[in-house]
Amino acid sequence: MTVAAVQVNVLFFASIREAVGVDRIQVAIKGEHNDIAAVIDKLCQQNPCWAVVIKSRKVLAALNQEMAHFDSTVSDGDEIALFPPVTGG
């Protein structure tokens, strides 16, 4: 049985966007675990310098415009937004 690749759109915001130098990228993952963590791992494999930015900071994720945990399952065509924690006063 062949596992189909899942294609997702990843959006970067605020300081993460500034650090990686792009505002969006399309990523295809293929495997048993199609979750946000797998997408982040794939991003870091494709762009090793991004690993420092994405994995060294506390990053929040939204899946289809709703806050999500890194173990949230992704489906083909989903949108994942990565952004730093928001602070305010």
29-62 pLDDT tens trace: 998 889 999 999 999 999 998 988 888 768 999 9
- Global pTM? 0.90
Q: What is the pLDDT of residue 57?
A: 67
- What the block records as the tokens of 64 is 């289809």
pLDDT in tens, 11-25: 999 999 999 999 999
Q: What is the bridge-based pairing of β-strands 6-12 and 24-29?
A: antiparallel
At 53 the pLDDT is: 86
Helix locations, 1-89, DSSP H? 14-20, 36-46, 48-56
Number of alpha helices (DSSP H) and beta strands (DSSP E) in the chain: 3, 5
**Fold of the domain built from segment(s) 6-83:** Ubiquitin-like (UB roll) (3.10.20)
Domain extents in the chain: 6-83
